[in-house]
Every structure is written in C-alpha cells, then in structure tokens.
Chains A and B, each alone.
Chain A
Amino acid sequence: MINVASATQTHTNGHANGPVAIEVRNLKFFYGNFKAITDVNMQIEEKRITAIIGPSGCGKSTLLRAFNRMNDFVSSARVEGEILLHGRNLYAEDVDPVEVRRRVGMVFQKPNPFPKSIYENIAWGARINGFKGTKADMDDLVERSLRGAALWEEVKDKLKESGYSLSGGQQQRLCIARTIAVKPEIILMDEPCSALDPMATLKIEELMQELKKDYTIIIVTHNMQQAARVSDKTAMMMLTPDGKRCGTVIEFDATNIIFTRPKDKRTEDYVSGRFG
C-alpha cells in the first residue's frame, strides 16, 4: 500500500503556492548533438522536498546535475533555456560554476567521503570556501553539521578516525554533513539511498524531513515508495514518444496527486507499477 504524505496545498501543474527557490524555464540539455532533455518548465518551492521520478535512462540525473552545473565537466554539454536560482540564471555568461556549486550542494548515489578523518571531511569544504575562524569555531561548525546530519552522537568520540571506518549509512550522513557545512541554499540528492540497507535508508528519510526546515531539497529516486513518503511535490519524467531517447517532465504536481489521481495516463501506469 502506498503511504501518502499529508497534502497541505493543492496545486495546478507546475505553479507554486509558496516562495520559489529554483525556476526552470524551457530547459533543453544537449550532449553535443544529442538532445537528452527537452522542454522542462517547473518551479521548485523553497524549503520543500521535490522528487524527480521516472524509468531508468530518461534523464533524471542529467536534470538534477544541471542544477549545480556538474554537467559542465562533460566537454560536449550544452544548455538552452534558463535555470534561475532566486532570479539569477545559473547559466548566464558571468556566473561562476564554482559559486553555483557552493550554493547548490550535492549528495551522490554512492557515499564518497574523502580519505581524510571525519573531522577533516567536514572542515575541508568549509576551509576552501573561505572559512575564517578559530579552531573552536571550526569545532563548533563540525559539531553543528554532524548534528544536522543526525550523526554527532555516533561519531563524537572518533572524529579523528578515517571517514571510511563508518558504515555505508553513516558515510552517507557524513556526506550530508559536509554538504550542509558550507551552508548551501539547495541540496541535490541523486538516489542517495540506493546503495544503503533499509535501516540506513529510513534514517536518511527521517533526516530529510529535518533538513527541509532549512534547505530546499531536490531528490532523484527510482524508489516510488520513497518519493511518496518523503516528498511534497513530485516531477514525473519520461522519454518523449518520438523514440529519440530524449527525456522530459510529463507531470509535476503535489505528491499526493501524482500518486492517487495523476492527470497523465503514463504517470498512472508508472506509479501503479504497470511498467518500469
């Protein structure tokens, strides 16, 4: 049975009732001549959790990585359209991707802590972003970040140990801690629980509800139940029917609507498990 989060608002497709953190306008994404994503228009609400779901290969990760310009590292990547973060186009000529990534953090599919101590994993991100303070200030920041990631109690006595000495779920929470240490506005999560066991997954899902009080979260997941449990709004992505392997958002609405009364038949087929 699908557990449905309580709906506090009703929306029409795409428009927000609250303040908007990210607005996507007519986004098209290309790898060279290959169009991977087309015609995406959405408004991501601030301090809410937005999920992106869909079958494999429809461009979910590409869309997510467009929000923090991680795709820039592929030399053939090209963007048309706009992604506005609080009104500023992330892909404008004068925008520095390094600054974008400071403001839009990312948690990856497989936990990837640095081969440093737990303390250093968190301190490093702050340092390279210009942290100026005493050691006590840094200790404070590390503790706050670990508390914010619900990891402090478990590691407070072993901060000097390597990040790899933690379990998978703990490592992922460490990655979340280091992300929030640099005070981003948005946190992107690319299937953050797919490499974790159910207990660890549950912990992270609980954590997300805490995190959304301070951060806007966008999560890509192929686990529909997770999307239904965790998110406020859901975007359904699918390949366009023309067979060109191009993905687009076919429906974007409150989570409870997507999962109980979706407007698009394809969405209905997908969430009821009829395919994908």
Chain B
Amino acid sequence: MSTEKSYMPEGAQLKAFIDSRHRWGMIWQSVFLLATCIGILALTALIYNVVDSAFGLVVVEDRIDPATISTRPLEELSKDELVAILQANLSEGAFNKLNTDQPYTSRSKENVLEVVYERVVRREVEGSYSLTDSLLRRAEIEQEVAQENPNAKLIFRSWLTPQFLTTPMASKPEFAGIRTALLGSIALVMLTMLFALPVGIGAAVYLHEYASQSFIYKLIETNIYNLAGVPSIVYGMLGLAVFVRALEGLTSGAWFGVTDSNGRTILSASMTMALLILPIIIVNAKEAIKAVPDSFRQAAYGLGATKWQTIWAHVLPNALPGILTGSILAISRAIGETAPLVVVGASTFITVDPDSVFSKFTALPIQIYSWTARPQAEFRNIAAAAIIALLVLLLTMNASAIILRNRFSRRSY
C-alpha cells in the first residue's frame, strides 16, 4: 500500500495548490457579491433617473409680460389680488367657469397663481433640463437659452409639487396634475379590495378549515398556483370579455338606470383587478389562518361552538394581522398594475373626479404610461413626478406592512 504512487500534491506543492484554490475562492466570492449588488445598482439607477427628470431648470416664455398686469411681482400678491387680476383679464364666461369648476374661495393661493400663469400670462415651457444638467452645466445652459430664446427666462422648477397632486389633467404638461389619476387609483383599489377580500378570505377558510386533503382540495390549490402565474394582461382580456362586454348592463349601470355610460367603468376595472389579486390574498390568508394555534379551535369546540362560530369568533380575529399584511401586499400589487386596466378601457384623459362606480376611470400607472409615450420632453418630466408619487405611495404601504408584520409576529401565543 505504501509503495503506490500518490497522484496528489504534497509539501510545498500542496501549499501552492491550496493557495491557488483560495485565490479562486476569493475571486468568485467577489463575483457573487457583485451580482447581488448589480440588482441594487439597477434600483439606484432607476431612482436617480426618475429624480433627475422630476426636478430641473425649465425655459419659460411668458406671452404676456407680467409687469403689464401688475406692478409688483405676481408671487407677492395676495389671493384676492390675484383673483382680481383674473377677473380683469379673462372674459366673464371664462371667469365664471373657473369658479364653477372650483370656487375661488376654496382654492389655495398657489392654485390661483397657477391659473394666472396659465390663462393670463400664458406662460409656456419651451424646454426643460434634467437635474444633473441643471446643477452641473448651468452656465452652458444659460448661454444656450440666451442665444436661442432671448425672451425666455430660466427658472428652477420642481415638477412634483402639492399642486401637482391636486390638479387634474390638462393637455399642456406644465399645467397637468395627477389628481384624477390618484383619486381613480384610490377608488379602484378600495372597490377591488371590497370584492377580493371577502372572497379571498372565504376561500382560505375553506381550504384550511373545511376541505379535507381530497381531490377537490388539490384541484383548487393547483388552480390557485396556476392563476398566480397567469400574465396580468390575460386577466385584462377576461375582464374585457366578461365584465365590459357580456355584463355591460351591470357594469355600465344600465340595470340601475344609468344611461350615458358603457361597460368601461370603475366597476369593471375593480372586478377584473379583484380576480388578479385573489391568489395573493388567498395564499396570505391561508398562511395567517394556519398560524392560529389549533388549541384555540379545540377550546372553542370544547365549549360546544359550531365550526363557523369558532372561525368567526376565534380563528379570524387572531389571523387578522396576517391577513392585513397580505392585503397590503395585494394592494401594492393592484396599485402598480397597468396592462389589464388598459385592456379593460382606462381613459387617459379625464378631468373630472370620479363620482360613481359607473363612471369612466383612470389610474396613476395609466397616466404614467400615457405621458411616457408622448414625444414632448416635458411629458417625461411630469411622468417622472408621477412616478415619484407612485413609488412613495408604494413605499409607505410596504413599510407599514413590514412594521405590522414585525409587531404582530412578536406577539406570542
């Protein structure tokens, strides 16, 4: 045995060999770490890109010199003085219409100022620059503007302002806001959850409390798994055929006496979205219900409670935190979905707030989509601002879901 040749390195050779293996180990460890960081890098690039477009210098040209309307700068005037300027410079019809849309008494000063800029001064944005350009190439930009557009001024503008959130859509990007889109999204999500939550929780209750490990159980489970993997646009097609077209009577409100709408309503959209997020809710609710210790149930049964009484009074209340967390995750998903809404007939230009479930609808992602697709550069800016609004909304929701989850997981039974 000891005379046989050993084919493996020994001594100094062994040391060198092991060292080279360690070197390769280090190299690949860095590669693996790099891969993990690339994802984070991409996220950073995305955020940078969006923020870059949402703030920056804009080249504005005032068709009418503000000095001819008011001796003092417009920003310094009070709201009443601004309203007076409107009255003096607009036709009576236009002035009254603005009042009907939203009474001057209820408008903020910034809002009236915006209107003055839009209607009286007729300020137009001729061009915009990204944040990095605005900060780094300021002198160059000023030169450029002075050459090409001597009448114009260079102002630093944040495209994301409180007005942006409260102003409805407009055809000019500098005066458009996401009010209708935001309200649309909120209304949509609330209605979606109204449909999806009871059904989802019911299905989870069925799967965990009532169903035996039978064929039906496996079938339903497989179905839920498959539905979770169906592309969202297929749900859109389903909604289009069933809710918008086949059930047009219901979704347009014709059955309820509403006459001037069609099937492309908030109702159709929310029912479609409910189908989409159902698997998420079911899976999360099932986990939450599963986590409720069996001893709770046994105690209730032991006292003579029926199955439903036990579930309603003991299981569900204790599963509530988990269900809540799951709901928030589902809402996050629903708020970001675009494709099914487009298919179901989202409108891209609505200026009035939604007033009933049978009204036309739009949503924040739809607005972003429509603005991104336009060629003019300023639409990119407001799309970026809208994206920031959407991301902040999502971040808040996910953060609250995580906080909720942590708070309630510390609770010990």
Residues of B within 8 A of A128 (CB): 21
Which B1-28 residues sit within 8 Å CB-CB of chain A?
1, 4, 6-9, 13-15, 17-18, 21-22
Which of A53-61, A130-138, A192-200 contacts its partner? A130-138
Q: Give A85-128 interface residues, CB cut-off 8 Å to B.
A: 96, 98-99, 102, 126, 128
In the complex, 5 of the A-B residue pairs with CB atoms within 8 angstroms, ordered by the A residue number, are A96-B22, A98-B18, A102-B14, A130-B9, A132-B9
Bound together, the chains give a CA A144 to CA B9 distance in angstroms of 19
Determine whether the beta carbon of B7 is less than 8 Å from that of A133.
yes
Residue contact A99 to B7, C-beta cutoff 8 Å = no
Cα distance, A129 to B7, chains bound together (Å):
10
**Known contacts A130-B14, A214-B1, A98 near B7 by CB under 8 Å:** no
CA distance A98 to B19 in the complex (A): 10
Partner of A99 from B1, B6, B18 at Cβ < 8 Å: B18
User: In the complex, which range does the number of interface residues on chain A fall in?
Assistant: 10 to 19
B8 in complex: contacting residue of A96, A131, A214, CB < 8 Å: A131
A46 to chain B, nearest CB (A): 14
Q: How many A-B residue pairs have CB under 8 A?
A: 34
Which A residue's beta carbon lies closest to that of B17?
A130
Q: What 0/1 pattern do residues 331 to 369 of B give for CB contact below 8 A with A?
A: 000000000000000000000000000000000000000
Do B8 and A129 touch (CB < 8 A)? yes
> Taking CB as reference atom, which chain B residue is nearest A133?
B7
B25 CB to closest chain A CB (Å) equals 9
Smallest CB gap from A181: residue in B: B8
CA distance A189 to B101 in the complex (A): 86
Q: Are A99 and B4 in contact (CB under 8 A)?
A: no
Q: Are A130 and B8 in contact (CB under 8 A)?
A: yes
For the complex, what is the distance from the CA of A133 to the CA of B6, rounded to whole Å?
Answer: 10
Whether the Cβ atoms of B7 and A132 lie closer than 8 Å is: yes
Asked if residues B15 and A99 are in contact (CB atoms below 8 Å), the reply is: yes
Query: Which residues of B have CB within 8 Å of A183?
Result: 6, 8
Taking CB as reference atom, which chain A residue is nearest B16? A130
Q: Mark A202-226, 1 if CB is under 8 A from B, else 0.
A: 0000000000001000000000000
Q: What distance in Å separates the Cβ of A131 from its nearest Cβ neighbour in chain B?
A: 5
CB pair A99 B14 closer than 8 Å: yes
- A182 and B8 within 8 A (CB): yes
Residue among B4, B8, B15 having the largest count of chain A Cβ atoms under 10 Å: B8
Q: How far is the CB of A24 from chain B (nearest CB, A)?
A: 24
In the complex, which residues of chain A have a beta carbon less than 8 angstroms from the beta carbon of B4? 144
